[in-house]
Amino acid sequence: MGESSSTGNWRRAGFAGAAIGVLAAGAAAGVAVERLTVGRSVRQKARLALDATGPYGGLRGTPGRALADDSTVLYYEVDDVEDDAPAARRRRLFGRKEPAPVTVVFSHGYCLNQDSWHFQRAALRGLVRTVHWDQRSHGRSGQGVAQSGPGGVPVTIDQLGRDLKAVLDVAAPEGPLVLVGHSMGGMTIMALAERYPEFVRDRVVGVAFVGTSAGKLGEVSYGLPIAGVNAVRRVLPGVLRALGSQAELVERGRRATADLFAGLIKRYSFASKDVDPAVARFAERMIESTPIDVVAAFYPAFAEHDKAAALPVLQELPVLALAGDHDLVTPSSHTEAIADLLPDAELVIVPDGGHLVMLEHPEVVTDRLADLLVRAGAVPEATAATVTVRPEPGSG
């Protein structure tokens, strides 16, 4: 009976995980066709080959750790300026002028980690000082202490803002800052501005919001009929909590339905039909590495997120607001709303771009970031700031 019960639980966990993915993405049909035409062993070999030949996320810097206010250990890496950085790369990004001392701090999104900025990191590596950190319970950072144990509580965007401040205090204790955030990372920057407005006014010289939102995420349809989305939204928090309590079984179920989730991830990460398969596999690896209990702990924070009132703190700063035109997770209309509240911001909507636009169209995102650094005074007036070369996967 024990074995039968275990098997039943495993199946239920797998089916529940798959059902959530189908309801949230609606991409199962295309995946089913692929499963009929390509054998599982072939797909597994293809994934292994992509992992071997596309070493995205392999850039590493000087490691460090900061302590959050609830004692969660937050992992970060620093890439310092190289005195002998190639002049050609410097000119391609900033013209002939030398970068001024500044630290560019990258905050990643939900279910990702610091490696999601791979292409931007490769382009800026050695030219300006950068900090890349993993949000709590993601990547190499520790599991959120406040979220652990029987009395664990869901994480809040406010907590993430305090986490970012803890990282900045240790990794960049002095000098001007340019803050760059994707999705949840952009929300983290808003929470920082709301909680520490004087710090932002004193230290921050530029901000980039990539595929993020200042609120009203409860209105996002994810490309599905409204009625279906509302039904899922009502039950999903409870379902995620239940699945989070059965983490081991659910992870086994996710592995068993890996092909299905790969299709869902691609649909909700990218809009381009010709996205590099190695990049798609890279995104898949990051997302599938996020444990289900972390997914469950973070999910409620997005429905509660509302930081529009914090944006005026950034009113006097150079701001970049960028999104893909086919972002189904944080639609470009949310980026336009940010730009409406910050009328001096540069608004960039990237054609044929999805939620992971910094991986899908890295040259566009890096180009606009380089221009932001110029506008922020982190780099003196440049004669040319266009990035024309896509960095190699393991460059740097």
120-177 pLDDT, tens digit per residue, is 999 999 889 999 999 999 999 999 999 988 888 889 999 999 999 999 999 999 999 9
**Rounded Cα gap, residues 389 and 396, in angstroms:** 14
For residue 221, give the amino acid letter.
Answer: S
Neighbours of 39 (CB within 10 A): 10
Beta bridge partners of 177: 103, 204
Secondary element (H or E) of residue 158: helix 157-171
For residue 82, the 8-state DSSP code is P
> Is residue 337 within 8 Å of 363, Cβ to Cβ?
no
Is the model's pTM score more than 0.75? yes
Give the model's pLDDT for residue 389: 38
Summarised one tens digit per residue, pLDDT across range 338-394 is 999 999 999 999 999 999 999 999 999 999 999 999 999 876 554 334 333 344 455
Asked if 338 contacts 305 with a C-beta cutoff of 8 angstroms, the reply is no
